[in-house]
Chain A
């Protein structure tokens, strides 16, 4: 299974992986197996949701970021930050302090992604009025969800709103703004501070767009540490809030949180977070069970972007801080402030369009239906012989995953411990042979202990 076309920011470090199968058991698309004592990824199935990263007990799964020194390769570098960054710090670390720290560690400027939601608030509404698409419209905000729909709900790709997410719009705007100020485009480096792996994958191999305006991606936990040490070092005489002008309206602050989009869209809107919840709901959409709903805000993480895998802070605390911050400051004044990005509406609006999202189903047993039918019959037959306990001892997450692996020549029936016991009793395989099978799946190390 080699599909190099999809960039995955999640990488398994084989030398650290202990083959414990925790990741395999939580993967919502069944993309992981254990072989030779190590986790193995079926690349075309992975949607970069990062559930595996959350549960890995030894930190063997990493999120590949760009080298921070890249920031210094540009004459003018910008930290493009999501609002959840400010929710990571305790109350006494103000937004101004974070801005200041980012400048100190090497960025010339800071821009908040959520400003772009001011554009989307208008364009999404317009889009939903005119697009000849099936309802409910599905937001393209969360890249893990877009990929989930491609691989698991191929019939629903036509529901996706083909407009770029705030991240890309913010980058387009800022690049244009600096160009107008006379900067050479090659001297401008835009770096996104990411809370998740899916956004990295979306930047490195975008779905529905050709190139990204973003030059690099830095992980939230990495930047969190850098900001914290910078603040610690100059704490006593720090003057917060001096070098930034906070005009972000509360609706924009909350855009990446659950209900952030749905609260700003007219019509009957639902907001669903956490990938298993989303899958349950998409099944219903596919069955045409969901009627008269206009818009779906779907996010892979619990508590949406506040629950991103790279965020150091507890997601509920982060949400609480963001919401109270957005309410606290002179709300009325902010809502009425003119956002600079809105003056670029005519420049940005024609550039928002995404190419149609192409389905690439992972559900099919074979491209050819006749062969798929044969395989399906075999799966059914194999399933009747498997125990149905989903113990995972075969190195596949479920009995049905094993059955599918068998018909695709990726595993054998004897990988199942129950089958092994049965075969041993009937004298069909030796004790040594069944021992070897388990070693092949789980690695020799696990059997070397006395």
Chain B
């Protein structure tokens, strides 16, 4: 088993993508098929972006076993009021400013779900959100 941990700061768009890019390097070393790497990287990138765009701070923990890759994303932030609505394509609470930067198109959560084998989301308003993203290998 291998573990990685990344701390993400809200609002730091310049560094967004660091966690997914660094995990990608590890997955390449493990000889994981590139299609699978792509799915994991997309899911993690979206999760990372969600913290940067919406939360104050967050921690991403990745656990790699020969069978599965577990990603846990936990942030301190505003939380999500209506998760079902947030899961829909195109739903977004991103500010105009964020959208102008090309983010916040509202595909985030559904994109994560589509690229995961198992997906769980728990959120408390005014506290934060926690995601569990699991990808099966082979």
Contacts and interface: CB of A to CB of B under 8 A. Distances in A.
Interface of A: 154-155, 283, 286-289, 291, 359, 361, 363-370, 372-373, 376-377, 380
A269 B28 CA distance: 28
Given A287-B24, A289-B17, A376-B2, A367 B31 contact: yes
A154 B37 CA distance: 11
B137 interface: yes
A10 to B, nearest CB: 25
B30 A155 contact: no
A363 B38 contact: no
A361 B66 contact: no
A210 to B, nearest CB: 26
B17 A376 contact: no
A363 B29 CA distance: 5
Q: How large is the interface on B (under 10, 10 to 19, 20 to 34, 35 or more residues)?
A: 20 to 34
B42 A288 contact: yes
A408 to B, nearest CB: 12
Contacts of A363: 25, 28-29
Q: 7 tightest A-B contacts by CB?
A: A155-B34, A364-B31, A363-B28, A370-B66, A372-B30, A365-B29, A154-B34
B13 interface: no
19 contacts: A154-B34, A155-B34, A155-B38, A286-B24, A286-B41, A287-B17, A359-B34, A361-B31, A363-B28, A364-B28, A364-B31, A369-B30, A369-B31, A369-B32, A369-B137, A373-B64, A376-B2, A376-B29, A377-B2
Interface string B63-101: 011100000000000000000000000000000000000
A366 B17 CA distance: 26
Contacts of B30: 364-365, 369, 372-373, 376
Nearest to A363: B28
Contacts of A366: 31
Given A365-B31, A369-B30, A373-B2, 14 more contacts: A155-B35, A155-B37, A155-B38, A283-B21, A286-B41, A287-B41, A363-B28, A364-B29, A364-B31, A366-B31, A369-B137, A373-B64, A373-B66, A376-B30
Nearest to A152: B28
B45 A287 contact: yes
A363 B25 CA distance: 8
Interface string B8-49: 000000000100110011101111101101100110010000
A369 B21 CA distance: 20
Contacts of B20: 287
A373 B28 contact: no
A227 to B, nearest CB: 46
Nearest to B137: A369
Contacts of B1: 373, 377
A370 to B, nearest CB: 5
A372 B37 contact: no
B89 to A, nearest CB: 17
Contacts of B25: 363
A288 B45 contact: yes
A291 B107 CA distance: 15
Contacts of B35: 155
Contact of B41 (A288, A361, A368, A377): A288
A380 B29 contact: no
Contacts of A155: 34-35, 37-38
B11 to A, nearest CB: 19
A364 B31 CA distance: 5
B43 to A, nearest CB: 11
A377 B28 CA distance: 14
Interface string B114-130: 00000000000000000
Nearest to A154: B34
Nearest to B138: A369
A370 B26 CA distance: 14
A262 to B, nearest CB: 22
Contacts of A377: 1-2
A288 B45 CA distance: 9
B135 to A, nearest CB: 13
Interface string B99-110: 000100000000
Nearest to B16: A289
A154 B30 CA distance: 13
A287 B37 CA distance: 10
A361 B33 CA distance: 10
A283 B18 CA distance: 11
Contacts of B28: 154, 361, 363-364
A415 B2 CA distance: 26
Contacts of A283: 21
Contacts of A370: 66
Nearest to A134: B38
B98 to A, nearest CB: 16
Nearest to A359: B34
B101 to A, nearest CB: 13
Nearest to A375: B29
Nearest to B21: A287
B104 to A, nearest CB: 14
Contacts of B17: 287, 289
B42 A380 contact: no
A156 to B, nearest CB: 8
